[in-house]
Chains A and B, each alone.
Chain A
Amino acid sequence: MKKITIDPVTRIEGHAKIDIYLDDAGRVADTHFHVTQVRGFEKFTEGRPYYEMPSITARICGICPVSHLLASAKACDAIMTVVPPPAGMKLRELAHCAQFVQSHALSFFHLSAPDFLLGFDSDPARRNLFGLIEENPDAARSGVALRKFGQEIIEGLARERIHSSWIVPGGVNAPLAAEVRDRTLAGLPAARASALRTLEFFKGILDRFDQEIASFGTAPTMYAGLLDDGAGLQWYDGLLQFKDAGGKIVATDIRARDYAQFIGEAALKDSYLKAPYFKPVGYPAGVYRVGPLARLNVADACNTPEADRELAEFRQRCGAPAHSAFHYHYARLIELLHALEKIELLLSDPDILNPHVRSHAAVNCLEGVGMIEAPRGVLIHHYKVDETGAVKWVNLIVATGHNNLALNAGVAQVARRFVDGTQLKEGMLNRVSAVVRAYDPCLSCSTHAGGTLGMVVRLIGPDGGLLDEIAG
């Protein structure tokens, strides 16, 4: 048995490594996806006051801190047994949509577009944002501008783009300024046009990636996502639904506090990322996926006109449910458009400027669960506290965790399809990394990641001798 190691997987949010085991004929026999660091938020927060949890847990992830702030604040709302004032809820949702814009733009343009625009097999030294800046500056500028648009909304609301203390238990701590609303509305048409252009462009190049689409984690799985009463997308406050691989509803209207009846967690011996599974089916068969692809598979509609038009075309092109992980990119771009439409709807509501944005209360319940859709999928914060409000117990299930089992299967499938151990090429391994990229895993969220020095790929013979090596 020979082993190839991709370490780290590049252009993902965090570091991970992949081991690929080859049989004596050089065919892929097995793969392992390792997440390589853990920080222990679930333990070191014990004893802290619950109202510190949003600020502490935001530091789980600098890419989607708003997600953790929201899930945490919602868990705290439940502990205080309060409902934030309507404007507070709307402002939270506005920040959330802005985060979808910046995070989806980052995933598509900064991390994955180099594969599409420069090529999976292109020079790895240039296959990145900076290569894109030189070779396709318009695409790079679009990505930078869309990400900036989302970040500026967050900055306008919260004063800081990253790790602000604006989202608090009970609501938010400052209302929206009219000039921020007006400035954002003025910038929306350009942002929407850019998102639409990107979608058109991506649809135009889909045909070039037939082979990737056909092998990027295509195994049917269940899907999970949050929905409103009418089965439309609801990122901030929906109820959880699971659909099976054929698109049939298997569990629905699951409230945050009931998540543990449906989601179990398993420990893996070779990864710091735990593997959630659908409890009624059991482990390890209860594989499900979350995130943009899963949300579009679970939802009946986006409930914004442009995104719904795109969704109809998506279903036509990719099927319903769509199973190839490559289509995460496509789904992400539709969601980017939806987020921009949603921002306009929220800002057009006169109540959005209402200064009453926060409810106050003390501990009224010793347990609280907050559940939202982070850009990468369902995020759950579950806290238990004592009467003084000191945290006694914490469980966090992050988006990328839900995808852990499917991601492992996707890595194996791509490796089997593209990696030829008798004649190793860098582009083969880039595709294995690319399936990970399609999921846009947030390994920062997952536990966080460390990683090691650079990517070195070694082919080790059965006797332990070095047969081949690719290194910088």
Chain B
Amino acid sequence: MQTLSVLAALCSEPAAWRHGYGIANDTGLKSGSLYPILIRLADRGLVEARWEEEQPAGRPRRHLYRLTPDGLARAKAALAEQALLPHRRPTVAGRRGAAPEGA
């Protein structure tokens, strides 16, 4: 269900570009779990990524992410479906619908 929490974090402000550490803070995920999820989402065209354009002072440029229109629609559907499900262990169908994980 980690993918869902990433989608939820990106969904909260769909227009804003978010950076990895911010999403990690929102979701409580470690970098080793978060980035593979972002990679899969980007591979499937649900998330777009870019580097910060201007070089900020005192720190390296950040890699930024936001949902694509398709990603936003899929994320909303997945989160809505998740909310509808009774609270029990995650189901295969729920996970599949929500989380395009794996290659």
A in complex with B: no
Interface residues of A (CB under 8 A from B): none
